Every structure is written in C-alpha cells, then in structure tokens.
Amino acid sequence: MRMSSLFAPTLKENPQEAEIVSHSFMLRAGMIRQLSSGIYAFLPLGLRTISKITKIIKEEMDRAGGQELLLPALHPGELWKETGRWEVYGPELIRLKDRKDRDFCLGPTHEEVITDLARREIRSYRQLPLLLYQIQTKFRDEIRPRFGVMRAREFIMKDLYSFDRDFEGLEISYQKMYNAYCRIFDRCDLSYEVVPAESGVIGGAVSHEFLVLADSGEEKLLICPTCNFSTTQDEERCPHCGTDLEEKRGIEVGHIFQLGTKYSEPMKAYFVDRDGEEKPLIMGCYGIGIGRTMAAAIEAYHDDKGIQWPLSIAPYEVAIIPINWKNAKQREVAEEIYQESQEKGFEVVVDDREFSAGYKFSEADLIGFPLQVIVGEKMSQEGKIEVKVRKNDQRWEAKKEELFTLLFKLKEELASKA
C-alpha cells in the first residue's frame, strides 16, 4: 500500500470528544470516525486490525471444535419474552415494531436465537456436544456511550454457544473455551488476568472475565505477586499464600458463562438422551468484544507519540520511509525495498508522499507501524538503511543486501513475544 493512496485521515491534535488514550489515537490515526453517539465507522487501518483479531479468534474457535454460523441481528420479541429477558434487560435493549405492530429488538446477545435454533434441530444426544459461534454486530442502547469503541451502542462481538447432554460435558466445553481464550489473548500479545465474575443478565452459576491490564481500566484487580491469584473482590491478603495483594486496573475483553438450563428449560429446548428420556440441553456462552480488544491493546501499548501495536494485530507490519521522496536515489531504493518486501510476504506500506521527514516519522509513530525502514542520507553516503522498532525505539543499521535478514530477525523476535 502507498501512503499517497491510503485512506487514513490523520489528525494532529487530540479530539475534544476523546476521553481516553485509545479513543484519541484511533481518531487521530484515522482508524475510526464517529457517525453518531456510540456509533463508529472503521476506516481501512482500523478494519485491518479488526480483521487480524478476528482471524486469530476464528482459528482458535475452530481449533477448539467450534463451527461458525451467522445468526440474525433482528430478533422477534416473543423469543425474549419466553425467557423473561424482554422485561429484565431494560432500556439498553433496542426495541422496535414492524408494520404489523409485532415486537422486535436488535440483538445485544444471541442466547434466545441460538436456543430457538437448537430446539428445532437438536433431537438426540448423538448430536452432542456442539459448539456454534458467530462474529457479528451487536447493539446496546447505552445510557451514556463513552470511551470510543470501548462502550458503544453498536459493536463487533464473537459469541460462541456450547450444547452438552450433562454438566460434566459443560465443564469440558467451558475448559476448552477458557483455554482457547488464553491462546487468543496470548497471540494478541496482551497481558491479562482471568477472574471469577458476576453473571448479570446473561445468567448462569459460573462465570469468568478476561481482563487486559491497563492503567485506564475500569475494573480494579487485586493480584498476588507470589502465586498469581487474582480477584475483583476487596481482599487484603491472598487466600492461598497470605501475600499482600497488589492493585491493578483491567479492561474486560472476554466473558464466559456456564448457563446450564437457564434458556433451554423456559424455551423447551430438549433432546432425547441415551436412556430414552427427554432432557434440557445444558448450555454455555462465551463472548469476546473485538473492538474492545483493539482498544484495550492501544490502552496497554502506547506512548506520547502514538500506538505501539503488537506485531500480530498491527494494521501493517512494515513502513518504508524515504526521507526525501524527490531524491531519485532514495526513491529508487525505497521502491526496490517495497517490491521485495511484498514478494517476501511482509505487510508493507511505502510513504511516497512529498512531505517533510518529520511529518512522515510522526505519522508512522502515531499509526504504530511495528517496523520502520528509513531510507535517507546514510544510504547515499554509506550504503546503510536504518530500521526502527516502534515498540522499544531500538534502531538498527544494515546494508541493502542484509536488510531482509535483519527484518526477518526482528519480526521473529517481535512475534515470539506474543
């Protein structure tokens, strides 16, 4: 991609509406734009990161035995009335009527819809266990949308639903998802904690939150530095080893629930077990906020210049920055590196704009390209090209014929930390 063609309308100043770092940098780096309160468009750079997080999630869901489907976003109100959540969910549920005066809502979550599908299609224990997931837009009429995509009225979410014949099977499915979530956030190179949580309006007896550690996190965490016990409950000492707990902040990016029969019994989602008896399906649900994960990564990894993306979810891996695009030699070398980078499989942009070097460097740091290849005077005078690692600001030099050996080495080092 050429920067002269890339649709990334960057901003020099912090937008007045931005309340937290991720909101500010996503706006300034040209990754999102607000349509209305709590409703955002993802521009090309933002969507590339969303797509990378989505790819990681899909790979781990498939690896755990999940099967992807896509459920409707528009839900008949009668399904929600069967479970009682039409009344319980409150004003956050976006309700509407069709031309025949029938109640509908825009789905903030899909327990009712997936349970309706299950009661129609699952007849026998031989069809179990079953893990079904989707990645889709959800809707919630937040009383006060804030923090950009962190608390929005429209958001992208992965939700998986497990169906088992008994609670022993649910425990197995739950542990599969627990492990898959750990792999997902490890691959996104995020520091996180898993803590027991309240189930809220989703319901169920057992629930865990996955919280990315960041100073701006909404939730208080208490963590044991000795045995890694963590909790959101007020405690002074670790109940396991007695060590004083350390306070940190976290951002919820994932939540998993053991639902049991909360939805299957009121909706009569039964199957015939091996003993010939009809029994309710035993369910679990497992959600990841994809936009929240993107924002949490920025909250965790940034400096005063901009974003410091982990390599695995950066919109592009490499930015080639010729200091003076009008200089024929610099332009020629930059073009050669750009073409060869693409051939070697790097996700790369070249800054082919006739802007000042300072402007180009500032934008590269703001957007957060993990590796920056700088073609300048050292190339002309000494035949050397500079490589900067955005995450730690380390700088390396290499001759052109050695450049890709260095880039592959640095890429491997950045990837190995994920």
CA dist., res. 296 & res. 392, Å (int)? 19
Summarize the confidence of residues 215-237 as an average pLDDT.
Answer: 86
> Phi/psi zone of residue 306: left (φ > 0), alpha (ψ -120 to 50 degrees), beta?
left
In tens, the pLDDT along 323-379 reads 999 999 999 999 999 999 999 999 999 999 999 999 999 999 999 999 999 999 887
**Residue 301: which of 212, 411, 413 has the closest Cα?**
212
CATH architecture of 21-303: 2-Layer Sandwich (3.30)
Specify whether domain 316-416 bears CATH 2.20.25.240.
no
Residue 203, pLDDT > 80, answer no
In tens, the pLDDT along 308-318 reads 999 999 999 99
Tokens of 148: 């950009």
Q: Give the pLDDT score at 389.
A: 97
Tokens of 275: 């003993």
User: What is the pLDDT of the chain when averaged over all its residues?
Assistant: 95
- E-strand ranges in 281-330 read 282-289, 302-303, 306-307, 318-322
Q: Give the pLDDT score at 200.
A: 75
* Buried-state track 221-244, b at ≥16 Cβ within 10 A, e below 16: bbbbeeeebbbbeeeeebeeeeee
Q: Give the pLDDT score at 153.
A: 97
CA dist., res. 286 & res. 267, Å (int)? 20
Q: Give the pLDDT score at 417.
A: 57
Q: Where are the domains of the chain?
A: 21-303, 316-416
**What pTM does this model have?**
0.95
Strand bridging mode 348-350 / 318-322: parallel
Q: Give the pLDDT score at 218.
A: 85
Q: Give the pLDDT score at 255.
A: 96
The helix/strand/coil state of 283 is strand
In tens, the pLDDT along 250-267 reads 999 999 999 999 999 999
Strand bridging mode 67-68 / 371-375: unpaired
Residue 138, pLDDT > 60, answer yes
* Buried-state track 21-57, b at ≥16 Cβ within 10 A, e below 16: bbbbbbbbbbbbebeeebebebbebbebbbebbbebb
Q: Give the pLDDT score at 381.
A: 79
Q: Give the pLDDT score at 418.
A: 54
Residue 10, pLDDT > 90, answer yes
Q: Give the pLDDT score at 136.
A: 96
**Residue 250: which of 224, 216, 292 has the closest Cα?**
216
Letter for the amino acid at 14? N
The mean-pLDDT minimum among 151-155, 218-222, 406-410 falls in 218-222
In tens, the pLDDT along 32-91 reads 999 999 999 999 999 999 999 999 999 999 999 999 999 999 999 999 999 999 999 999
